[in-house]
Amino acid sequence: MHERGPRRGRVVALAGGVGGARLIDGLAAVLPPEKLTAVVNTGDDFEHLNLYVAPDLDTVMYTLAGLAHPERGWGLADESFHALAMVERYGGQTWFQLGDRDLATHLHRTHLLRAGLRLTTVTERLCRALGVAHRVVPMADRPRRTMIETAGGRMLAFQDWLVRERAAPPVLGLSWQGTCEPAPEVLDAILEADLVIICPSNPYVSIDPILGLHRVRWALAGRKVIAVSPIVHGHAVKGPLAAMIESLAGRAPSAAAIAAHYGELLSGIVVESGDEADLELPALGTATVMGARDGRIRLAHDVLGFAETLS
């Protein structure tokens, strides 16, 4: 059921949550399973109620399985919250929304991890069970936690900052706790890739955690790498990115700021039509805001077509 056309090479897509998941969904409609590997940020992962929760992996998996909630940036479309209501009755933690079916993902994942399986293997099993044919690989098997530095040197784990504190405290710095080792499959996939797509995810907290892993920048060097800008007409499509560019890069949010952030790494960039100004690298202007499936597929085509124009 994949499109006929010029023979495509192998593609690796680096991604965080919603924006990344939607582009990967588009790519998965265009590329056969053996041609696409999604490498997903796990810097947002955390332990909650003794469950291992992997928000970005789940968003990518649910989106590829066609189960993701169409508007919310997390969780399942067909979902109930009976367990969470009961946790609330017990006076337990309810700041992180856990649906009943979503809870099963965390329970089963945690169970398999405690049984000794790698996160990569666990992710593969979960995806297979949900009928996801394309490969979804966590950036690392062991925890690598994104830490947010806020005023007064206060350090917050990512979900505490994003969800519990609603991304309100200004971000003064970022650091990572945990492993520097990528999952072996990450380097394997990049080293075999004809094209690496940096999805329209937050560069600081979705992509940099991947880029900061040992040998990932080395593996990417000299390879064809295209970013899709998550900044559209000076605004972030979703999430706290615009304010982070202002506080961390000291400049106004723009596609050019994204290009500058990735620097030498990029062979080209895909931006929203009209955002091509001040770009000093090959750029494609197109419609980058994805909603329903057809928009995702169209953008996937645009990105792959643009890649073919680059030497």
Residues at the interface with a copy of itself (CB under 8 A) = 49-51, 79-80, 82-87, 89-93, 100-101, 103-105, 107-108, 110-111, 114, 125-126, 129-130
Quote the DSSP letter at residue 163. I
Report d(CA 63, CA 66) in Å as an integer: 5
Query: 């969470």: which residue's tokens?
Result: 84
Question: If you write DSSP's letter for every residue of 107-149 in order, what string do you get?
Answer: HHHHHHHHTT--HHHHHHHHHHHTT--SEEEES-SS-EEEEEE
Minimum distance from CB of 14 to a copy of itself (Å)?
26
CB of 13 to a copy of itself, least distance (A): 24
Coil, helix or strand at residue 156: strand
Nearer to a copy of itself, 123 or 267 (CB): 123
Contacts of range 99-108, beta carbons closer than 8 Å, 24 or more positions apart: 99/75, 101/76, 102/58, 102/75, 102/76, 103/51, 105/58, 106/48, 106/51, 106/52, 106/53, 107/51
Q: Which is nearer to a copy of itself, 94 or 150 (CB)?
A: 94
Beta carbon nearer to a copy of itself, 112 or 193: 112
Query: Whole-angstrom Cα distance, residue 89 to residue 240?
Result: 31
Listed residue (41, 32, 2) closest to 198, CA to CA? 41
Both structure tokens of 186: 């990450």
CB atoms within 10 A of CB 35: 20
**Nearest CB to a copy of itself, comparing residues 108 and 238:** 108
Residue 283 host element (H or E): strand 283-286
Closest distance between a copy of itself and the C-beta of residue 81, in Å?
A: 9
- For residue 60, the minimal CB distance to a copy of itself (Å) is 16
CB of 112 to a copy of itself, least distance (A): 8
The answer to whether the CB of 20 falls within 8 A of the CB of 13 is yes
Between 4 and 89, whose beta carbon lies closer to a copy of itself? 89
Tell me the closest approach of the beta carbon of residue 177 to a copy of itself, in angstroms: 20
- Closest distance of CB 166 from a copy of itself, Å: 23
Cβ closest to a copy of itself, residue 107 vs residue 147: 107
* Least Å from the CB of residue 121 to a copy of itself: 13
Nearer to a copy of itself, 51 or 210 (CB): 51
Q: Which two tokens stand for residue 117?
A: 């399986």
C-beta closer to a copy of itself: residue 111 or 214: 111
3-state SS assignment for residue 200: coil
